[in-house]
Amino acid sequence: MEDNRTTMISLSLNTKWLIPLAIIVRLIFFSYGIYQDKHFKVRYTDIDYQVFNDAARFIYQYGQSPFLRDTYRYTPLLAWIILPNHWLHCYHFSKMTFIASDIITGILIIKLLISCQVSPKKANLYTAAIWLLNPLVITISTRGNCETLLCLLIITTFYFLYRGKLILSGSIYGLSVHFKIYPIIYCGPIAIYLWYRGGAITSRLWNIFKFGIISILTLIGTTYWMYKLYGDLYLQEAWWYHIIRIDHRHNFSIWNVLLYYSSTIPDKTSLATFAFLPQVLVTILLCGVWLPYSVLSKIHNNPSQLLLKLLNIIFIQTFTFVAFNKVCTSQYFIWYIILLPFVVANTKMDWKWEGIPMIVSWVATQGLWLQQGYNLEFLGLNVFYPKLLLAATSFFLANVYIIGQCIQDLIV
């Protein structure tokens, strides 16, 4: 109990100015974004934000489907969230919703760090700042990208899961899967976590059943609601598209070049069609079953350590999902950055000999790809093969190396 109070005091002292600073920095980025949009040809605002705004206009002005806006492929709930732009006649207003989600996520990260009872040395300003002062996170939220809303749903799921609020946690989890499909991969680790959280066997089974049924009912309920409102077009754009999509532009994925060539022969089955198979094998079986079983089965009667290990497992699983996905863009990186503070709080790595090489490999190979991406998209050079393929392969191998290091760090 004394150690927990010490940790809470340490976090309080370290973060008392961190949150105000995080808010100020975001407001500066937000204000500059409005200025850049007005005075420069290259806009600061994410093109997706324009899509969201246009979709909301179809609802607000015409009472029609948001999917009448080309390339809108999200839940209609997102378009509803953007409606205040039109109610208030302020194009940038809903960016503040994304920024608020970003900040609340950071606050919940701090609360979970306290709950995990990490040592004061590790639960310091820098651990929380991995999210709150991360330039990538700040840029994504202030440009009007909706990923911070999803991150808030996910971190809230684990916050209430730890507190034993299974109905609330399950409802939010089901909503997160409705919002974007990929969090469904977390169901395995969560079930194993609930099993090893303890209690009688009947109690464990009931907790798993309760969380699962609430999640499923929420997912089915919201999906059916949207289907009744917007019909088959909703299913096609918000669900099936993401399963069968072929996106070869600005895509870090190792499948990128193959997708490019496949796009020229759409009537023929290509190897890219089966890109999901290695992803399923590694993400679901390795990281979703074997890893949580191997790690969580060793922890007994320690809810805070169970939570910390679970969040580390979810980080590895999400990192793996993004690395092996057939579409991989920069905005996907925050799907696992949100969990990075818990990895840092739990790691046994030597940062000099292990941490720094991991960071350098991730940044350097990404930079190599961006160089070839610039040559392709801005200079119009044909670098698809072999340069872009080699760059994508290097980035993929760097990601695999990082995944291996994180798994070794967790199970040793």
For 39-97, the pLDDT digits (tens) are 998 899 999 999 999 999 999 998 999 999 989 999 999 999 999 999 999 999 999 99
Which of 55-64, 268-277, 319-328 shows the lowest per-residue confidence on average (mean pLDDT)? 268-277
Tokens of 107: 């606050």
Asked if residues 25 and 137 have their Cβ atoms less than 8 Å apart, the reply is no
**Does 153 have pLDDT greater than 90?**
yes
Residue 269: φ, ψ to 5°: -75, 130
pLDDT, position 20: 92
User: Would you place residue 250 in the very low, low, confident or very high pLDDT band (cuts 50, 70, 90)?
Assistant: low
Cα distance between residue 103 and residue 363, in whole Å: 25
Instruction: Specify which of 26-30, 196-200, 260-264 reaches the highest per-range mean pLDDT.
Output: 26-30
**Does 304 have pLDDT greater than 70?**
yes
Which of 173-177, 180-184, 347-351, 401-405 shows the lowest per-residue confidence on average (mean pLDDT)? 347-351
pLDDT, position 273: 64
Query: What is the pLDDT averaged over residues 181-190?
Result: 96
pLDDT, position 1: 43
Coarse DSSP helix, strand, coil percentages of the chain, rounded to the nearest 5 percent: 75, 0, 25
Amino acid identity for residue 115 in this structure? S
Cα distance between residue 295 and residue 410, in whole Å: 7
pLDDT more than 70, % of the chain:
90
pLDDT, position 381: 86
Half-sphere exposure of 254 (CA within 13 A, CB side): 19
Residue in this structure with the two tokens 């996907």, named with its chain if needed: 332
Cα distance between residue 244 and residue 242, in whole Å: 6
**Does 299 have pLDDT greater than 50?**
yes
pLDDT, position 377: 80
Asked if residues 116 and 342 have their Cβ atoms less than 8 Å apart, the reply is yes
User: Would you place residue 118 in the very low, low, confident or very high pLDDT band (cuts 50, 70, 90)?
Assistant: low
User: Would you place residue 271 in the very low, low, confident or very high pLDDT band (cuts 50, 70, 90)?
Assistant: low
pLDDT, position 159: 96
Cα 109 from chain centre: 14
What sections of 143-186 are H helices per DSSP?
Answer: 147-162, 166-179
**Does 120 have pLDDT greater than 70?**
no
Amino acid identity for residue 393 in this structure? T
Tokens of 247: 């996106």
Instruction: Specify which of 39-43, 189-193, 344-348 reaches the highest per-range mean pLDDT.
Output: 189-193
Cα distance between residue 254 and residue 365, in whole Å: 12
User: Would you place residue 9 in the very low, low, confident or very high pLDDT band (cuts 50, 70, 90)?
Assistant: very low
pLDDT, position 125: 62
Residue 285: C-alpha distances to residues 44, 62, 159, 325, 366 (Å): 40, 47, 25, 15, 27
**Does 143 have pLDDT greater than 60?**
yes
User: Would you place residue 382 in the very low, low, confident or very high pLDDT band (cuts 50, 70, 90)?
Assistant: confident
pLDDT, position 2: 45
Q: What is the DSSP string of 246-302?
A: ---SS--STTHHHHHHHTT-TTS--GGGGTHHHHHIIIIIIIIIIHHHHHHTT--S-
Average per-residue pLDDT for the chain: 88
Residues 6+ apart with CB under 8 A from 348: 409, 412
In this prediction the pTM is: 0.92
Asked if residues 101 and 152 have their Cβ atoms less than 8 Å apart, the reply is yes
Cα 266 from chain centre: 30
For the beta carbon of residue 268, count every other beta carbon within 10 angstroms. 8
Indicate the burial class of 357 (C-beta count within 10 angstroms; 0-12, 13-18, 19 or more): middle
Which of 239-248, 344-353, 380-389 shows the lowest per-residue confidence on average (mean pLDDT)? 239-248
For the beta carbon of residue 267, count every other beta carbon within 10 angstroms. 4
